[in-house]
Amino acid sequence: MQTSLASQIIPSAPVALSTGGPLLAVHDCNDCNQPHPNPNFLRFTDIPPEIIERVIRNVANPIDLHRLSRLCTKFKALAMYVMYGRISSVLQGFGFDSPSKFLIHIRRNGVYWAGPSLLHVLFPDFVCDMYDNKLELHVANNDRVLQSLSAFLQSSNFTMVNSYDGHCAVEAYASGTLEYPYFGCTVKRIMRFTRLFYGIHKEIIVFVSKSEITGFLSITEYPMTLLMVYVDGINIHVLYPYLTGNCRGLINLPYPQPPSPITPSFILLLAPSFNLRARLIEWPEYRFHLCNHNAYCPLCLRHQLDNRSVSIGCSFDHPEMRPYRRRLPGHIFPPFFARQIPSVTIWRLRCCASCLSNMPFPGQDISHHGLYIARDLYISDVRPNC
C-alpha cells in the first residue's frame, strides 16, 4: 500500500516517540534523560492566522461557523472578522461608506436587520438579483427611534418615497409588492427608502411594529424559516439553525393551503438553491418527532432567549472581544454601549397546523394558529383556512 507524502511528513496524533509517549510539546531524551522540545509537536499558534482565516472564509454552513467560533478566542475573533467582512460587502453595495456606523446605529436604537439580504452573508455562493437590492429593517413603534433612523438613512442619501399605514395598506403592500403572503399582522406601518447607487435602485424597507418595545415579532412572520435571520448590531442570529444550516426552509403559510395556480415568488427564487417543504414531517429525521416538544416543530412556542437559536459575532465592538484592563485610580474609561438585552417575545409559526397529526397525546387540545406575544402586545393570527 502506497502512502502519501503528507502522511509520511505530518504525523497523526498521538505519535509514538522514541520514549513511547504521546504527542507532547516536551519529552524526555533517552540519552541524557533531560526534557527537550518535541520537533513533531505543532502548536495552534504556529499556523499563520492568514491560513486559518482563508479556511474559515470557505465555511458556508452557519452551524459549522458557529462551532468553529466556540473552539477558542482566536477562532471566535477570526469567525467574527469573516462575518464582518461579508456584512460589510452587503452594506457597501447599498452605499454605506462605514458599515461599522450602521451596526452601531442599529445596536443603539434596537433596530433589527433581517430578511433575504442576509442569505448572502450565511451562504456566500447564493446569488439573487431581486434580494441583492433590497434591505429590510424591523423597528419598534417609538417616535425617537423612528426619527433617528430616518435621519441616519437620509444622511446616507436615502429618500423616503412611500409610507403605508394601517392593516389593509400594510397587508396589500406586503402580499402584492413584496410577495410575502399573510404578512403584516404585527406591523403597524411600512416605510420605503430608495437611493440610486451606481445606476441601480437600492431600496430599504422599514417595518414598524405595533409594539412600542420591540420590532422583533415581524421577523417571525416571514413566509419561510430561511428568512428568519437577523442582525442586532453585535451578532447575527439564526432562529432555526439546523434547518437553515442544512439548506432547508419550512414554508410558514397557513396549512392547508387552498390550491392555487400561482406559486409565490420567494419559492421560485429559493427552490433552486434550498430544500423547501410545507410540513416538517416531510424530512425523514423529523417524521416521528413529538409535536410541541421538538425545537423545530412549528407548534412549539419559541422565545428569543430559549437557547435554540445560533448567534455568531459580526462586529469588532463585540463585548466579549474587549480586552480586560485593570481599573487604575483616576483613569477614565472610554464610553461603550451596553449589550443589547432584548425584551422577551414569544411566537408560534403560522404553519403550526401542519403538525397536528404528530401530537404526543391523542385528542390533545391545542390552538393551531400563529401567536405573537410581547410585553405590550398579544396577537392571535386566526385565519379561516388555518
What mean pLDDT value characterizes the chain?
A: 80
pLDDT at 301 over 90: no
Model confidence, pTM? 0.80
Q: What is the tens place of the pLDDT at every residue in 230-248?
A: 999 899 999 998 888 888 9
Question: Which of the pair, 291 or 253, is modelled with greater confidence?
Answer: 253
CA 305 to chain centre: 14
Question: Which of the pair, 195 or 4, is modelled with greater confidence?
Answer: 195
Q: What is the tens place of the pLDDT at every residue in 49-100?
A: 677 777 777 777 788 888 888 877 777 888 888 888 889 999 998 988 889 8
Residue 287: the pLDDT is 83
Give the cell for residue 222: 416571514
Cis peptide before 259 (omega within 30 of 0): no
Return the closest-CA partner of residue 238 out of 377, 65, 57: 65
Q: What are phi and psi of 143, to 5 degrees?
A: -60, -40
Helix/strand/coil (H/E/C) assignment for every residue in the chain: CCCCHHHHHCCCCCCCCCCCCCCCCEEECCCCCCEEECCCCCCHHHCCHHHHHHHHHCCCCHHHHHHHHCCCHHHHHHHHHHHHHHHHHHHHCCCCCCHHHHHHHHHHHCCEEECHHHHHHHCCCCCCHHHHCEEEEEECCCHHHHHHHHHHHHHCCCEEEEEEECHHHHHHHHHHCCCCCCCCCCEEEEEEEEEEECCEEEEEEEEEECCCCCCCHHHHHCCEHHHCEEECCCEEEECCHHHHHCCEEEECCCCCCCCCCCCCHHHHHHCCCCEEECCHHHCHHHCCCCCCCCCCCCCCCEECCCCCCEEEECCCCCHHHCCCCCCCCCCCCCCCCCCCCCCCCEEECCCHHHHHHHCCCCCCCCCCCEEEEECCEEEEECCCCC
Return the closest-CA partner of residue 158 out of 100, 97, 110: 97
Q: What is the tens place of the pLDDT at every residue in 108-142?
A: 898 999 999 999 888 888 888 778 889 999 999 99
Give the position of cell 487604575.
Answer: 328
Q: What is the tens place of the pLDDT at every residue in 39-52?
A: 666 566 667 767 77
Asked if residues 374 and 343 have their Cβ atoms less than 8 Å apart, the reply is yes
Q: What is the tens place of the pLDDT at every residue in 142-193?
A: 999 999 999 999 999 999 998 999 888 999 999 888 889 889 899 999 999 9
Residue 19: the pLDDT is 44
